[in-house]
Copies of this chain bind each other. A is one copy, B any other.
């Protein structure tokens, strides 16, 4: 069986590529999905396709609607949802995705540095694993999908 893993959250670092590359190197049968990660396209897609409204609020509203067609659909089809919280921006959409994933009964994995532990405690409590590095997510997927446990160097 092919596992569907949705990668939600931060779009400004290479964490998605590190997970996808690691999974590929391990030969895991996983189909990764996620939002459109081109920031400008993600912001402007609604107005660019449907027409520019007079007010900025509705510009965002149009874009969020078009993006939701993609993100809700893929999130609902996922077996595992990984949500990354980075250092920049408020990333409320990442927490929003985590809330959806939790209510839908998805296996949730969070990925963030320890300094966000307190602020993310409600989200982490709903997760089945809290990782610090993308390679740990690869380790989880390798164990979960293929039954292979490779201990971390130094662990």
Q: Which A residues form the contact surface with B (CB < 8 A)? A: 1, 3, 31, 33, 36, 38, 41, 44-58, 60-73, 76-77, 79-80, 85, 89-105, 107, 109, 114, 116-132, 136, 139-140, 143-145, 147, 149, 151-152, 155
Contact = CB atoms under 8 A, between A and B. Distances in A.
Oligomer: number of copies = 8
A129 B64 CA distance: 10
A121 B36 contact: no
Contacts of A102: 96, 99-100, 103
Contacts of A127: 65
A106 B122 CA distance: 17
A44 to B, nearest CB: 7
Closest 9 CB pairs of A and B: A99-B99, A64-B125, A95-B95, A103-B103, A60-B121, A92-B95, A54-B54, A93-B122, A96-B99
Given A140-B49, A147-B36, A155-B51, A57 B99 contact: no
Contacts of A126: 68, 96
A75 to B, nearest CB: 9
Contacts of A121: 60-61, 63-64, 93
